[in-house]
C-alpha cells in the first residue's frame, strides 16, 4: 500500500530516532514508492535534523542512512543527574578537568527546562566542590594507559609514590585501571625485578598498584609483553579482590560482624560471603582480598568486627 508523505516521514523519523538504520531500497518497497521518493524524504529529514544540531549521514560501509545522535544513544535527564553527582562526590578531578565534563553532560539535557533543572540540582555541590590536593590533570593519561593495556605494550615511567620520595624509574606491564576513594590506580607487573630482594613475599603473583596522578612521566613503548596464562591479571575477578589499593599477596580473612549493616560490608568486600548467622545477632563472614589494606578497614569498624583468622 502506498503511504502518504506525512506517514513516511513519521515512520522514517521513528526508525532513525530508535537508533536503527534506513535502507533506501527496503524503505521504498515498504512504502510502495520509488527510491527517488525515499531519497527526497531523507533529504527533508537531513535538513530538519541539521537545523537542530544533528546529522543524518549515509554510511558507505553498509549503504544505509543513520542518525548521528539518536535518542537512545543519549543519557536521560535522570542518568545525567546521577553521573554528575557521582563525578562530584568522587572528588577525583581538578576543577579544570571536571568543569568541561559536567558542562558536556548537562548540555545533553533537552528540553531547556531539564537543562536548567539539572544545573540547579548540581549547582550547590559544584560551588562547594573540593578538588584533590595533588592538583594534577590526568584524564589524557588514562586513555594512553588504557591503550597500552589493550595493546599489551610495555610502559616506562617515573613514579614518585605517595610519600614524596624521589622518582623511581620502572618498566612495567600494565594490566588494569582501577578507581577507589578519590584516586585512579594503574595495576602493573614490574618487568625484570628481583622479587627475592624487593618483595616481602617473592611468590606474590599480584600486580603492583600505582596512583595515576603520581606517575610523573611515562612512555608507551613498542615492546610487547605476554604474561603466562596462570599469572594473568583477570581484571573482573581481580578487581573484586583489590579493594584497598595496597600491594601484597592474596589472603583469605574470616571475621565476626555485629554491626548495623551487613549489606555495607558485602558491598565494601565484593568477594565476601556469609558463613553463618550468629545466635546472639551478627554474622560470620569470609572474604578474599589482596594486600594489607584490609587491616585498616578492620580497625575502622571498631568493636563491630572481630577477626578470627
- The pLDDT of residue 142 is 93
Residues 6+ apart with CB under 8 A from 139: 93, 97
Taking the CA atoms of 199, 203, 204 and 208 in sequence, report the sign of the dihedral they define. Answer: positive
Q: Where are the chain's structural domains?
A: 5-72, 77-127, 139-233, 250-307
- The pLDDT of residue 203 is 63
- The pLDDT of residue 1 is 47
Q: Where are the alpha helices (DSSP H) in the chain?
A: 5-17, 24-31, 35-50, 77-90, 95-107, 112-127, 139-151, 195-198, 235-241, 262-268, 293-300
- The pLDDT of residue 193 is 76
- The pLDDT of residue 111 is 66
C-alpha span between 84 and 125 (Å, rounded)? 10
Topology of the domain comprising 139-233: SH3 type barrels. (2.30.30)
pLDDT tens per residue, the chain (309 residues)? 456 888 888 889 888 877 788 999 999 899 889 999 999 999 999 888 888 778 888 888 888 998 887 665 567 788 889 999 999 999 999 999 999 999 888 877 766 677 888 889 999 889 999 999 989 999 999 999 999 999 999 999 999 877 667 888 999 999 889 898 899 999 898 888 776 666 666 566 678 889 999 998 999 999 999 876 555 555 556 667 777 777 777 889 999 999 999 999 999 998 999 999 999 899 999 999 888 888 989 999 999 999 998
- The pLDDT of residue 85 is 93
Q: Whose CA is closest to 157, among 216, 224, 221, 223? A: 216
Q: At what angle do helices 24-31 and 5-17 cross, to 10 degrees?
A: 140
Cell 569498624 locates to 301
Q: How many CB atoms lie within 10 A of CB 25?
A: 11
- The pLDDT of residue 17 is 78
The CATH code of domain 5-72 reads: 1.10.10.10
Residues 6+ apart with CB under 8 A from 149: 174, 175, 176, 177
pTM (2 decimals)? Answer: 0.71
Q: Whose CA is closest to 288, among 271, 300, 264, 306? A: 271
Amino acid at each position: 500500500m502506498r503511504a502518504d508523505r506525512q506517514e513516511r516521514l513519521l515512520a522514517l523519523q521513528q526508525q532513525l530516532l530508535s537508533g536503527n538504520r534506513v535502507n533506501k531500497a527496503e524503505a521504498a518497497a515498504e512504502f510502495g514508492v520509488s527510491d527517488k521518493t525515499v531519497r527526497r524524504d531523507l533529504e527533508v529529514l537531513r535538513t530538519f535534523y541539521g537545523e537542530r544540531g544533528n546529522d543524518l549521514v549515509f554510511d558507505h560501509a553498509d549503504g544505509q542512512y543513520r542518525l548521528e545522535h539518536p535518542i537512545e544513544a543519549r543519557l536521560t535527564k535522570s542518568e545525567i543527574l546521577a553521573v554528575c553527582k557521582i563525578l562530584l562526590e568522587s572528588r577525583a578531578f581538578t576543577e579544570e578537568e571536571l568543569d568541561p565534563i559536567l558542562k558536556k553532560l548537562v548540555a545533553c539535557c533537552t528540553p531547556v527546562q531539564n537543562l536548567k533543572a539539572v544545573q540547579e540540582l548540581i549547582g550547590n555541590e559544584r560551588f562547594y566542590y573540593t578538588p584533590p590536593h595533588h592538583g594534577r590533570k590526568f584524564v589524557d593519561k588514562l586513555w594512553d594507559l588504557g591503550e597500552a593495556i589493550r595493546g599489551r605494550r610495555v610502559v616506562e615511567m617515573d613514579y614518585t609514590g605517595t610519600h614524596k620520595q624521589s622518582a623511581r624509574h620502572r618498566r612495567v606491564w600494565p594490566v588494569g585501571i582501577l578507581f577507589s576513594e578519590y584516586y585512579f590506580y594503574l595495576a602493573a607487573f614490574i618487568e625484570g625485578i628481583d622479587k627475592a630482594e624487593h618483595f616481602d613475599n617473592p611468590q606474590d603473583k599480584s600486580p603492583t598498584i600505582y596512583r595515576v596522578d603520581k606517575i610523573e612521566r611515562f612512555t608507551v613503548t613498542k615492546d610487547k609483553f605476554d604474561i603466562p596464562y596462570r599469572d594473568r591479571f583477570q581484571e573482573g575477578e581481580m578487581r573484586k579482590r583489590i579493594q584497598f589499593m595496597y600491594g601484597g599477596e592474596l589472603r583469605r580473612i574470616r571475621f565476626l560482624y555485629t554491626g548495623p549493616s551487613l549489606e555495607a560490608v558485602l558491598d565494601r568486600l565484593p568477594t565476601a560471603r556469609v558463613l553463618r548467622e550468629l545466635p546472639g545477632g551478627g554474622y560470620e563472614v569470609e572474604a578474599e582480598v589482596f594486600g594489607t589494606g584490609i587491616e585498616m578497614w578492620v580497625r575502622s569498624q571498631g568493636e563491630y568486627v572481630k577477626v578470627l583468622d
